[in-house]
Amino acid sequence: RRRRWPGRVTPGAVALADIVEVVVWCSAMGPDVRVALSDGPAIRAQLDEVCGLYVEVFSAPPFCWSVDEPDRHRHRLEALLGDPSFGVALAHAGDRLVGFAYGFTLAPTTTWWVGLVPRRPATMTTERPGRTFVLFDFAVRQGYRGQGIGHALHDTLLGSRPERRATLATQPAAVQTKQLYERWGWRLVGRAAGGPTAAAPLFDIYLRTRIDDLAGPGARPRRRRPATPAAVAATPRSTPGSVAGT
């Protein structure tokens, strides 16, 4: 069955097993644009499209880019698809993929907060099962920005999650992106070095201390299993950061 919420009201924590499609629409996005929750098998079926859009968005300024980043991204994404905590929202204009947002739950053994400057208290950096969702990659195709698609992806994905809070990493040079995040309720908490395969030497780390404010009508809590070792291995800040349309 299909459910629609007008404007920027987003679906709540809806179990994918209970639905065929959750669709969010906004008049600014145009009649042929839809934003919907998806899942790992659907991403596998259109992996080339997702990876192609990633390259198109993140190979452009102001992001750092390397010739081996496409292969690294595909490897990271394929590893994440096996994680039961993986979550994703996709935006399509007709049959064309125009945006995506995906991530996973931080495991208690994560290294995400290691090396954060300034150093933050353990109350912020200590992970418990199901505490924090990572908005890992987030992109909107150039010609579709400024239509509310990025905001709809953001709210749809985070509003569907059972975690208490969310974090993300973006490159310091992505000033406009960071301004968007701050308008959407994110707070800069520090800067950390990227890993050995990272697309940039440094990342700005953001935190959104609650995400239940994004849950739509009928939201209900849902449990997820802890992140798998594959997701833990993908946790270091190896993504170039995020670009979003508004």
pLDDT tens digits for range 85-134? 999 999 999 999 999 999 999 999 999 999 999 999 999 999 999 999 99
Q: Which of 11, 6, 2 is nearest to 155 (CA)?
A: 11
pLDDT tens digits for range 32-62? 899 999 999 999 999 999 999 999 999 999 9
Rounded Cα–Cα distance for residues 166 and 103 (Å): 10
Contact 218, 178 (CB under 8 A): no
pLDDT tens digits for range 135-186? 999 999 999 999 999 999 999 999 999 999 999 999 999 999 999 999 999 9
CA pseudo-torsion sign 2, 162, 153, 93: negative
Residue 222 has pLDDT above 60, yes or no: no
